[in-house]
A = this chain, B = another copy of it.
C-alpha cells in the first residue's frame, strides 16, 4: 500500500509520417499512470502545428473520446502525467507546457525537481521575465529559450542550458521538427527509448510504456545524455555525460517503478525479488506462510519465500473497484477503510505463523491495521518484513517523503515500531543490501539520501533526525 509519491512520467514519440500519435501517447500514459495521477496532458505536433489537451485528473478523466479526437493525427507527440509535490494540483501546472519564443514553439515535459529553482527564477525575473506557474519546467523553458537566441539549434540550446540546472530532471522537448530528450547528469530518474517495428521512436520514463505501445526497449539514456530525434534519425549528445557522480534513485526500484519495467538494465521485479531474498537472509524467521501486501509487497514476498523455503501464498484480496471518488469512512463511522480495501483469506492464515512483506512503513497506521486484520483472521504470529531501509531524511529530487514528524522511523526503533503495530517481529532491509539490488556491477551508484542523509548535490537545507540516525548506524554495524 504505497503512500509515497513520485513526481511524474513523461513520454514522447516521433514518426516519419502522420499517425495517431495522440492515441499512442494515451496508451503509454496509462502505463505510466502510477507515476502521477494529479494531471495528464498530451501535445501533438502536426507538421509544426501544436495541439494541446491537458487538465487536472487521471489519464482516463482528462482524455474523453472527444478530447482525444480533437488532438488529431501528427508526426510527434509529448505526454505527461504528474503528481504535484507542492500545493500545486492546479490545472495551471499541468504539463506538457507549450511556449512560444522567437525561434518558434516548443512543448516541454519534465520529471524531476531542481534544487536551485528559486535562484534561477529570481535571476530571470530581474531580467523582466514573467511566470505563469510555480513549476520547474517554466524556468527550464526560459533557460532553453534564452540560449536559443544565440544557439544554432534547439538541441544546442538544451545542451547549453543543462549546466545551469542542479537537481533531477528527465526532459522531453518537442520543437516543430525535432524530439529531444535529456537526462540529468546524476541520472536520478529513469528515461529510456526504443523503437517500434515500423520505425517510430518512443521515449519514456519507464520501459513498461514502451511495451504498452508495442515498442522494443533499446536502452536508458546515460546520465547527462541528450537524445535528438528528427527526420534524419537518432543522434546523441554526450557532452554532459560523466560530469557528475551517478546517483540513481533507489526508490525507483523499491517502490515507484512498475515491476515489469527495466531500468538501467535491471528488471524492477527482479530487484524486488532480490530485496525479498536479502530480507530472508538478514531477518530469518520460522513461519508457515509468506504473504505480501498487495500490490507493492508481492514481488519481495516471492523473494522471501524463495530464499527461506517457506511457502508463498495469496493472503489478501484487494478490492479493485475502489476508485478516486470512493467515499471513505469518516471518523464517526465504525467501518474501516483498510478493511474495505483489503480482506485477508482466512483459510490461508488461520492458525499460521505468517511472514508479512511490504515495501515501506511511513506512519505505521496502515501497517498496524493490516496486522490487526491478520490477527482477527486467526494468524498466530505475524513477522513483518520491509523491503527497504527506514526513511529518515527528506528527498529534494522529486520524492514526496513525508516530513520527519510524520515518519514513524524517525521517532522509534524497529522494535518499538513492531510493538506499536502489534507485530511479533519487524525487519527492515539493510543499507548494504540496497546497494546490491541491481547486482554487483551497479553497486554504490545509488542515491540513498532518504535513508542516509548523504545528498549527491548541494541542498537548500538539511534537517537532521539525529536521535534515530545513531541507532541506525549502530544497527548497521551489527548487520
Interface residues, chain A, with chain B CB atoms under 8 Å away: 20, 23-24, 26-27, 30-31, 33-34, 37, 52, 58-60, 63-65, 68, 90-92, 97-102, 122, 125-132, 134, 141-142, 145-146, 149, 198, 208, 211-214, 258-260, 262, 267, 269-270, 295, 298-299, 302, 306, 311-314, 316-317, 319-323, 325-327, 329, 332-336, 339-340, 343-348
Q: A130 and B149 in contact (CB under 8 A), knowing A323-B60, A345-B259? A: no
Which of B128, B319, B335 is within 8 Å of A127, CB to CB?
B128
Cβ of A20 and Cβ of B343 under 8 Å apart? no
Q: A295 and B321 in contact (CB under 8 A), knowing A149-B126, A311-B306? A: no
Which of B20, B31, B198 is within 8 Å of A333, CB to CB?
B20
Q: A30 and B319 in contact (CB under 8 A), knowing A23-B333, A213-B335, A335-B24? A: yes
Cβ of B299 and Cβ of A314 under 8 Å apart? yes
Cβ of B322 and Cβ of A30 under 8 Å apart? yes
Contacting residues, chain B, for A24 (C-beta < 8 A): 335
Q: In whole angstroms, what is the CA distance A72 to B149 when docked?
A: 42
A333 to chain B minimum Cβ distance, whole angstroms, is 6
Q: In whole angstroms, what is the CA distance A214 to B338 when docked?
A: 11
Contacting residues, chain B, for A26 (C-beta < 8 A): 327
Please list the 6 inter-chain residue pairs (A to B) with the smallest Cβ-Cβ separation, ordered nearest first.
Answer: A102-B125, A267-B347, A33-B321, A100-B131, A99-B130, A260-B317
Cβ of A208 and Cβ of B327 under 8 Å apart? no
Cβ of B208 and Cβ of A343 under 8 Å apart? yes
Question: Which chain B residue has the least Cβ–Cβ distance from A132?
Answer: B132
A24 to chain B minimum Cβ distance, whole angstroms, is 7
Cβ of B149 and Cβ of A322 under 8 Å apart? no
Which of B65, B258, B314 is within 8 Å of A317, CB to CB?
B258
Which of B101, B321, B343 is within 8 Å of A130, CB to CB?
B101
Q: In whole angstroms, what is the CA distance A317 to B261 when docked?
A: 10
Q: In whole angstroms, what is the CA distance A329 to B20 when docked?
A: 11
Q: In whole angstroms, what is the CA distance A34 to B320 when docked?
A: 9
Q: In whole angstroms, what is the CA distance A165 to B31 when docked?
A: 48
A268 to chain B minimum Cβ distance, whole angstroms, is 9
A141 to chain B minimum Cβ distance, whole angstroms, is 6
Q: In whole angstroms, what is the CA distance A65 to B425 when docked?
A: 41
A221 to chain B minimum Cβ distance, whole angstroms, is 20
Contacting residues, chain B, for A340 (C-beta < 8 A): 27, 30-31, 212
Q: In whole angstroms, what is the CA distance A260 to B317 when docked?
A: 7
Cβ of B314 and Cβ of A298 under 8 Å apart? yes
Cβ of B260 and Cβ of A326 under 8 Å apart? no
A60 to chain B minimum Cβ distance, whole angstroms, is 5
Q: In whole angstroms, what is the CA distance A137 to B59 when docked?
A: 31
Contacting residues, chain B, for A327 (C-beta < 8 A): 23, 26, 63, 65, 68
Contacting residues, chain B, for A333 (C-beta < 8 A): 20, 23
Question: Which chain B residue has the least Cβ–Cβ distance from A328?
Answer: B27
Q: A34 and B321 in contact (CB under 8 A), knowing A60-B326, A343-B260, A346-B260? A: yes
Q: In whole angstroms, what is the CA distance A428 to B129 when docked?
A: 51
Cβ of A335 and Cβ of B27 under 8 Å apart? yes
Contacting residues, chain B, for A128 (C-beta < 8 A): 101-102, 127, 129, 142, 145-146, 149
Contacting residues, chain B, for A320 (C-beta < 8 A): 295, 320
A100 to chain B minimum Cβ distance, whole angstroms, is 4
Q: In whole angstroms, what is the CA distance A289 to B125 when docked?
A: 60
Cβ of A321 and Cβ of B99 under 8 Å apart? no
